[in-house]
Amino acid sequence: DQQVKQNSPSLSVQEGRISILNCDYTNSMFDYFLWYKKYPAEGPTFLISISSIKDKNEDGRFTVFLNKSAKHLSLHIVPSQPGDSAVYFCAAKLGGYGNKLVFGAGTILRVKS
Amino acid sequence: EPEVTQTPSHQVTQMGQEVILRCVPISNHLYFYWYRQILGQKVEFLVSFYNNEISEKSEIFDDQFSVERPDGSNFTLKIRSTKLEDSAMYFCASSEALGGYEQYFGPGTRLTVT
């Protein structure tokens, strides 16, 4: 199942700089996209989401951009902090009744101080 | 802040045994979900549940699996006869109805089948 892809297994960023995490999808029936953050031995924590009818959503240090024509979304974290170090998952929801989420494989973000 | 809770945090069972994983979703949420993550693999959807019935299930969710909301607060996942390949982290999640697509996850139950 390769419908949601996060091609970068890891990313290392200096504290205070921008972190950009990328996600690509193949299914044009996805109507909602979400980013989750996960620490070891914990469940995914919801960060930010975006509807397919928008191209940008911002919440504090986190901004998600959606490019529907390219089937690409990205999460920007500015400024990056050491506490942001975690695994970040992109997830997409198929239109329909069940609200099933399809997850990417995740990107490990390391923010160096 | 309201959160999803899950018990137990770790369950060890022998192949062929039945297990029940328990979850308490966020109290005003109406949609409930189970996902699992096998070590080194993606988080995978198992089932969604709304209005006391399954609204969607994956091909993984075969006859060995069942879900139940036995009372107003708990949501359970039962595996009738566990297999080695059922070893995984199992996450419960919940979301509001009416367009609340953000799903909030519990801390997970690590299931080890020996």
Identify the H or E element spanning B11. Answer: strand B10-13
Residues sharing a CB contact under 8 Å with residue B99, sequence separation 6 or more, in sequence order: none
Per-residue pLDDT tens digits for A13-36: 999 999 999 999 999 989 999 999
Name residue B3's amino acid.
E
Model confidence band, residue B5 (pLDDT cutoffs 50, 70, 90): very high
Q: Which domains does chain B have, with CATH numbers?
A: 5-113 (2.60.40.10)
Strand A107-112 vs strand A10-14: parallel, antiparallel, or unpaired? parallel
pLDDT at A1 over 60: no
CATH dotted code for A4-112: 2.60.40.10
Listed ranges A65-79, A89-103, B60-74; the one with the highest mean pLDDT: A65-79
pLDDT at B22 over 80: yes
Average pLDDT of chain B to the nearest whole number: 94
pLDDT of residue B58: 94
Interface of A with B (CB under 8 A): 1, 32, 34, 36, 41-46, 49, 89, 91, 93, 96-106
Name chain A contacts of B105, Cβ cutoff 8 Å. 36, 43-46
Domain boundaries, chain A: 4-112
